[in-house]
Amino acid sequence: MSAPAGTLTDLIRTIETSPIVDRSAAAQALSVVRDGVLTGEGPTAAGRVHFSRSLDSGDYGWCNRILTSAALDQQPVSRAEAEMLFEINDAATERLDDGRFDDLFAKAIVHHAAAASGLPVPARTVALSPQTAIETWAPTTAIGVNIEVLEWIAAQMRGKRRNNRKLLTLVAGLIGAATTLPLAQSLPGLLDFSM
C-alpha cells in the first residue's frame, strides 16, 4: 500500500531539516520508495511514467536523497534502512538507472555491516558517493567484522533472483577471510552465487 503524497514530503523535510533525526524516519521514507517501485504509483512516481516492478533514475534519486541527507551524514546506515534497501532491490525486476542503485545499495549495506561491527566508517556523503570507490573504505579482512552481521547479509541474499555482484564479491571475500572463525565456516553455504 502506497503512502499519501504528504507523508513522503513530510518525512523528507524532517530528514533534511531536523538536527536530530531518528534513522527510522529514513527507513520509513525508503519504504515509500519500495512501494512506488512495486506498484509504479504513489508519491515517488508522481509526475512521471513509472511501471510497476521497475527501478529508474527517479527511484535511485529518492534513495540517494534519503540516505545522504545532511542530518544523517555522520550516522551509520541502520539495520532498518539496510532491510528496506534489500526490499527495494528485491522489488525491482527491471533496472533503468544505469547501475546507480546497485552501487548505492552495495555501499550502504557494507556501511551498515562495518559500523555494526564497530569498525570506523566514513560519513555517508563520502561512503555512498558515486565518486568514492567502495574499496577505499570497506573492510577487506574479516578481522573485527561481526559474524552475525555477515550471516544476516548472507541470509538476505540467499536464493534471490537478483544479487548485487559488488556486494557478493565483498561478502564472499570477508567470509573467505573469516573461515578460521568457528561460526564463519557455515557462512559460504548461505550464499547462492548464481546471478
Q: Which amino acid, 174?
A: L
- pLDDT for the residue 6: 58
Q: Which residues contact 186 (CB under 8 A, 6 or more apart)?
A: none
At residue 190, does pLDDT exceed 70?
no
Q: What is the pLDDT of residues 54-109, one digit of tens each?
A: 999 999 999 999 999 988 999 999 999 999 999 999 999 999 999 999 999 999 99
Could you write out the DSSP letters of every residue in the chain? -PPPHHHHHHHHHHHHH-SS--HHHHHHHHHHHHHHHHHS-STTTTTS---TTEEEHHHHHHHHHHHT-GGGTTSPPPHHHHHHHHHHHHH-SEEESTTHHHHHHHHHHHHHHHHHTT-----HHHHT-TTS-GGGTS--SSTT--HHHHHHHHHHHTT-SS--HHHHHHHHHHHHHTTTSTGGGGSGGG-----
Return d(Cα 54, Cα 40) in angstroms, integer: 7
Say which residues have a Cβ less than 8 Å from residue 144's Cβ, sequence separation at least 6.
117, 118, 119
Q: Is the pLDDT of residue 193 over 80?
A: no
pLDDT of residue 194: 41
Question: What was the pLDDT predicted at 161?
Answer: 63
Q: Of all residues in the chain, what percent carry a pLDDT higher than 70?
A: 75
Whether residue 7 has pLDDT greater than 90:
no
Q: Which range (79-88, 100-109, 120-129, 169-178) has the least confidence?
A: 169-178
Count the helices and strands in the chain (H runs, E runs): 8, 2
pTM to 2 decimal places: 0.81
Instruction: Say which residues have a Cβ less than 8 Å from residue 193's Cβ, sequence separation at least 6.
Output: 163, 168, 172
Whether 44 and 52 have beta carbons less than 8 Å apart is answered as no
What value does the mean pLDDT of the chain take? Answer: 81
Quickly state the pLDDT bin for 183 (edges 50, 70, 90): very low
For 11-33, the pLDDT digits (tens) are: 677 777 766 577 888 999 999 99
In b/e form, how buried is each residue of 170-193, taking b as 16+ CB within 10 angstroms?
bbeebbebbeeeeebeebeebbee
Considering only residues 175 and 123, tell me which one the structure prediction assigns the higher pLDDT: 123
